[in-house]
Amino acid sequence: MSREFPEKDVRESADILIEAHIKADELRFERAPESSVEFTGDADDASASGSTRRNLPDKVQENVTYYDVEIDYAIAARLASDASGRATEPRTTAPPEPA
The secondary element (H helix, E strand) that includes residue 28 is: strand 16-28
> What was the pLDDT predicted at 61?
95
The model's pLDDT over 35-74, given as tens digits with 9 standing for 90+, comes to 888 888 888 888 889 999 999 998 999 999 999 999 999 9
The CA distance from 48 to 37, in Å, is: 9
What is the Cα gyration radius of the chain?
Answer: 18
The CA distance from 62 to 59, in Å, is: 10
How do the domains of the chain map onto residue ranges?
8-77
Residue 72's SS3 state is strand
